[in-house]
């Protein structure tokens, strides 16, 4: 039995532990949907999967609380499938294995799925607990938030009945979010005719060990982007050693800062030693540039099987120049909130072979005009290299409402329980609140959650000490929801 089942509050941790046993990487929701429906049947609440693939649960009001405003508790069922390079974990079949270290719950060299398994577990606990007092409650557990917010985007209008939305997908206890950035996926591609390989040798160059991280929450921390740093090396090797590009694989999630990139290069045999020296010099340079931020950088060269074909020489120059020039990281902070990122981009995924290049970027902004600006900035860069660029999965930002009734209630409860004032903030991370508000504009919305660190990485962790106060606040707030 997992040791986290003995933690308090038991009902929250038990449900979270049960959820870790269900494979649920983004794009593979069948097992977790069935699990949630089985859970609802067992605890005696209504549940169904809607046409968007979301799971909706409904629990009637406690007798005497029927006149209270309805509350929608919202979380997403999928998790980001990231793991350490040496982990054999299969996210589509294997359960998450957890352990406790220094007051935090971790997984074994994989993402933990606390983002947003904690929110789902809280919804399950509310649905299960017969001792709670509350008005009518709905649980909205959305599909595939991490790879496109598909469940929220396809949420049917008229399905939800509540007046208040509590999004349980924030990761800083004591900080309530009342606004978030919008986002958009940028996919840019270039096709060409491969050419025969006329080089004598081939090598694989690997850059790994960067911390990676959440491309919204941690984009401002200056962490290394493996795709951008690999471009520096490849361009230098092209200019000085005449290397030819064979393939590139970097990053695997649009909303995760890429921590690893691999390229295969073809070159003259007598240039291999010089390339190895160049890679080692670049590794030392990165250690200096990222001192105190990145501590485990690995950059090395291995022999590779000689390929039959290469990327054409004129195309490889265009490709590398475009990657080199593409904006990545913070573009601007919010002028009136100078500590909050307004606009950013993440050069997330690069896949190159001998006849096609495909690149995925996630751009975010709290302003629609600046979102358009960063999109056109990136498109212009790739247009000059002959790429075809498409935009998809766009969602608007969530405009803050500092006069929110539910916010004031949560602030009051937090003060009563902790003796401290809560911090109200606007997040750069994308939350589904803005999309849901677009379909249900009457909702009063706040996002909250316990402490989760390094989501979207193999060091993701959930602070044990923050679980109980998070649960206590949720329970009291539900009891004190005002009448309609």
- Could you give the residue numbers annotated as active site? 78, 145
Rounded Cα gap, residues 241 and 276, in angstroms: 11
> Is there a contact between 383 and 390 (Cβ–Cβ < 8 Å)?
no
DSSP tag of 270: G
Rounded Cα gap, residues 114 and 118, in angstroms: 5
Q: Which of 237, 475, 265, 219 is nearest to 361 (CA)?
A: 219
Rounded Cα gap, residues 420 and 402, in angstroms: 18
Q: What is the greatest pairwise CA distance in the chain?
A: 84
Q: Give phi and psi for 77, each to the nearest 5.
A: -85, -20
Give strand pairing partners of 310.
195
27: Cβ contacts below 8 Å, ≥ 6 apart: 78, 144, 147
Residue the block writes with tokens 């939305």: 165
457, exposed or middle or buried, with CB in 10 Å at 0-12, 13-18, 19+? Answer: buried
Rounded Cα gap, residues 402 and 410, in angstroms: 12
Pairing state of beta strands 298-303 and 46-49?
unpaired
Half-sphere exposure of 309 (CA within 13 A, CB side): 11
Give the DSSP H or E segment for 219: none
Rounded Cα gap, residues 290 and 304, in angstroms: 29
CA angle 457, 463, 469 (to 5 degrees): 140
Task: Report CA-CA distances (Å) from 2 to 5, 18, 100, 102, 323.
Answer: 6, 10, 10, 17, 45
Which 3 state secondary structure label does DSSP give 34? helix
CA angle 198, 201, 207 (to 5 degrees): 120
> Is there a contact between 164 and 135 (Cβ–Cβ < 8 Å)?
no
Q: How many CB atoms lie within 10 A of CB 131?
A: 7
Residue the block writes with tokens 């941690």: 218
Which 3 state secondary structure label does DSSP give 387? coil
Rounded Cα gap, residues 454 and 346, in angstroms: 16
CA angle 461, 456, 231 (to 5 degrees): 135
């Amino acid at each position: 039995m997992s040791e986290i089942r003995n933690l308090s509050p038991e009902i929250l941790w038990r449900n979270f532990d049960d959820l870790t046993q269900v494979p649920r990487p983004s794009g593979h929701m069948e097992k977790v949907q069935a699990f949630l429906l089985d859970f609802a049947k067992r605890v005696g609440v209504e549940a169904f999967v809607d046409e968007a693939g979301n799971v909706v649960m409904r629990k009637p009001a406690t007798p005497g609380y029927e006149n209270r405003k309805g509350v929608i508790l919202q979380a997403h069922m999928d998790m980001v499938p990231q793991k350490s390079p040496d982990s054999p974990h299969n996210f589509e079949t294997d359960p998450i294995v957890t352990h406790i270290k220094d007051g935090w719950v971790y997984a074994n060299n994989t993402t933990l799925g606390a983002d947003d398994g904690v929110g789902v577990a809280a919804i399950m606990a509310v649905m299960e607990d017969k001792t709670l007092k509350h008005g009518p409650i709905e649980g909205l557990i959305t599909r595939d938030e991490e790879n496109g917010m598909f469940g929220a985007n396809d949420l049917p209008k008229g399905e939800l009945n509540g007046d208040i939305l509590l999004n349980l997908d924030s990761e800083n206890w004591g900080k309530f979010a009342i606004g978030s950035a919008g986002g958009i996926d940028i996919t840019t591609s270039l096709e060409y005719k491969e050419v025969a390989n006329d080089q004598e040798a081939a090598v694989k160059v690997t850059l790994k060990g960067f911390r990676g991280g959440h491309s919204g929450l941690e984009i401002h921390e200056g962490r290394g982007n493996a795709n951008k740093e690999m471009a520096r090396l490849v361009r230098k090797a092209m200019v000085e050693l005449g290397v030819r590009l064979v393939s590139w694989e970097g990053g695997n999630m649009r909303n995760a800062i890429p921590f690893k990139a691999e390229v295969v290069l073809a070159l003259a045999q007598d240039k291999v030693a010089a390339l190895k020296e160049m890679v080692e010099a670049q590794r030392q340079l990165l250690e200096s540039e990222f001192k105190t931020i990145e501590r485990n950088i690995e950059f090395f060269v291995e022999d590779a099987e000689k390929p039959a074909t290469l990327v054409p020489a004129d195309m490889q120059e265009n490709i590398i120049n475009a990657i080199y020039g593409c904006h990545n990281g913070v573009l601007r902070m919010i002028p009136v909130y100078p500590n909050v990122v307004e606009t950013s981009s993440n050069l997330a995924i690069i896949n190159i072979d001998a006849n096609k290049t495909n690149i995925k970027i996630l751009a975010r902004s709290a302003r629609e005009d600046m979102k358009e600006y960063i999109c056109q900035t990136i498109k212009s860069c790739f247009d000059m290299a002959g790429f075809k660029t498409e935009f998809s999965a766009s969602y608007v930002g969530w405009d803050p409402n500092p006069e929110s009734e539910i916010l004031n209630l949560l602030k009051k409860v937090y003060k009563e329980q902790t003796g401290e004032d809560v911090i109200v903030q606007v997040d750069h991370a994308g939350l589904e609140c803005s999309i849901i508000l677009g379909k249900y504009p009457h909702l009063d919305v706040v996002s909250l959650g316990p402490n989760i660190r390094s989501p979207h990485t193999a060091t993701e962790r959930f602070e044990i000490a923050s679980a109980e106060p998070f649960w206590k606040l949720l329970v009291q707030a539900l009891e004190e929801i005002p009448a309609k």
